[in-house]
């Protein structure tokens, strides 16, 4: 094929990729926006750019996620850096952000904790929607925390009233100052059971296994988060976690058994109960007669 025939129109026409993915990857290879792909569809392309496109196309055809190939994914209207060290933000996780924001809507200068932050998507989205909120984000993965730090630095205004994000490396609550109490704790933990065949399919094959599965029944991370949450919640504080499509009843049961009140689940846009949450019970009042 001669270089002269390599145009956006020709490359898109002959690509084996779904059209949307082909446009995203070609735009990335060329450094062009969607509108440029349309306006310059018949312009002869630089051979180096075409070679880059062919490499991206081949890697995508071999299964690599688009978000990793372009190094970015949009979440809650913000563009997050993505690497193979972090879970790719999913649209259904925006429900967790929205629900947490509703929970603290009446709370001035709320304190919010995101456990297992990965890209930082949840924490950063909350911080940008509530400039007065103080937000902590924890991950046990050093590599994930580097990605979250980059995203937080780029997307969260350090001069906002709630200040910069506090990013900490550690297992769940382990790295937090014991005097902290939160108005909301949110988490999208690894909740896929270790024997779930989905781990061997699609994008999941390329994402960090530790962000996807607990290497157990899928509920062990949620059990740990729920068990310790009351100690870290302020009076009236809420815990909301994302979970698998068939885990809502089990997660509600864990929360109720731990003494959470007003326990409920919310459905994602696909109609699936995708997140569950509850309010910390008031500490029992001891009256000394």
118 annotated ligand binder: yes
190 annotated ligand binder: yes
- The residue among 168 and 192 lying less far from ligand GLN, judged by its C-beta, is 192
CA separation, residue 127 to residues 38, 195, 210, 280 (Å): 36, 35, 25, 22
- The residue among 87 and 104 lying less far from ligand GLN, judged by its C-beta, is 87
- The residue among 54 and 205 lying less far from ligand GLN, judged by its C-beta, is 205
Strand partners, 274: none
What is the secondary structure of 56-88 as a DSSP string? HHHHHHTT--HHHHHTEEEETTEEEE--TTSPP
Q: Which helix (H) or strand (E) holds 29?
A: helix 19-30
- Contact between 60 and 181 (Cβ < 8 Å): no
The residues in 48-77 that bind ligand GLN, with binding defined as CB under 6 A, are: none
Minimum Å gap between C-beta 284 and ligand GLN is 34
Options 28, 54, 59, 90; binder of ligand GLN; rule CB under 6 A: 90
Q: CA–CA separation, 152 vs 128, rounded Å?
A: 10
Minimum Å gap between C-beta 111 and ligand GLN is 23
Minimum Å gap between C-beta 128 and ligand GLN is 22
Residues 6+ apart with CB under 8 A from 53: 11, 25, 26, 29, 30
Residue 28 corresponds to which tokens in the numbers above?
A: 């990335």
Q: CA–CA separation, 285 vs 283, rounded Å?
A: 6
214 annotated ligand binder: no
Minimum Å gap between C-beta 14 and ligand GLN is 31
189 annotated ligand binder: yes
- The residue among 134 and 188 lying less far from ligand GLN, judged by its C-beta, is 188
- The residue among 30 and 88 lying less far from ligand GLN, judged by its C-beta, is 88
14 annotated ligand binder: no
Q: What is the DSSP letter of 267?
A: E
162 makes contact with ligand GLN (CB under 6 A): no
89 annotated ligand binder: no
Show the DSSP H helices in 173-269 as ranges. Answer: 209-212, 220-232, 248-257
Site string for ligand GLN, 180-219 (x = CB under 6 A): --------xxxxx-----------x-------x-------
139 annotated ligand binder: yes
CA separation, residue 53 to residues 22, 121, 243, 266 (Å): 9, 28, 36, 41
Minimum Å gap between C-beta 259 and ligand GLN is 25
Interaxial angle between packed helices 47-61 and 19-30, expressed in degrees from 0 to 180 and rounded to the nearest 10: 140
- The residue among 151 and 188 lying less far from ligand GLN, judged by its C-beta, is 188
116 annotated ligand binder: yes
Q: CA–CA separation, 215 vs 237, rounded Å?
A: 30
User: How many chain residues touch ligand GLN (CB under 6 A)?
Assistant: 9
- The residue among 78 and 241 lying less far from ligand GLN, judged by its C-beta, is 241
- Please enumerate, by residue number, every residue annotated as part of a binding site for S-adenosyl-L-methionine: 116-120, 139, 172, 188
- Please enumerate, by residue number, every residue annotated as part of a binding site for substrate: 188-191
Binding residues vs ligand GLN (CB under 6 A):
87, 90, 188-192, 204, 212
């Amino acid at each position: 094929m001669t270089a002269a025939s390599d145009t956006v129109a020709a490359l898109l026409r002959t690509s084996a990729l779904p059209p949307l993915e082909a446009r995203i990857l070609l735009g990335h290879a060329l450094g062009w926006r969607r509108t440029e792909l349309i306006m310059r569809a018949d312009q002869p392309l630089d051979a180096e750019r075409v070679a880059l496109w062919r490499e991206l196309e081949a890697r995508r055809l071999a299964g690599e996620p688009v978000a990793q190939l372009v190094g970015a994914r949009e979440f809650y209207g913000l563009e997050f850096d993505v690497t193979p060290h972090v879970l790719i933000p999913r649209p259904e996780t925006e429900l967790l952000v929205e629900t947490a924001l509703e929970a603290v809507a009446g709370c001035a200068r709320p304190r919010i904790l995101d456990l297992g932050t990965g890209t930082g998507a949840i924490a950063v989205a909350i911080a940008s929607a509530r400039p007065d909120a103080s937000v902590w984000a924890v991950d046990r993965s050093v590599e994930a925390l580097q990605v979250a730090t980059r995203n937080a630095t780029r997307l969260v205004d350090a001069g906002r009233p709630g200040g910069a994000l506090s990013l900490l490396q550690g297992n769940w609550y382990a790295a937090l100052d014991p005097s902290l109490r939160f108005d909301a704790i949110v988490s999208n933990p690894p909740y896929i059971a270790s024997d779930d065949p989905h781990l061997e399919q699609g994008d999941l094959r390329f994402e960090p296994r530790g962000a996807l599965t607990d290497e157990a029944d899928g509920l062990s991370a949620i059990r740990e988060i729920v068990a310790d949450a009351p100690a870290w919640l302020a009076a009236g504080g809420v815990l909301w976690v994302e979970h698998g499509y068939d885990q809502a009843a089990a997660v509600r049961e864990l929360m109720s058994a731990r003494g959470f009140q007003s326990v409920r689940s919310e459905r994602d846009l696909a109609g699936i109960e995708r997140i569950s949450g509850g309010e910390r019970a008031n500490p029992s009042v001891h009256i000394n007669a």
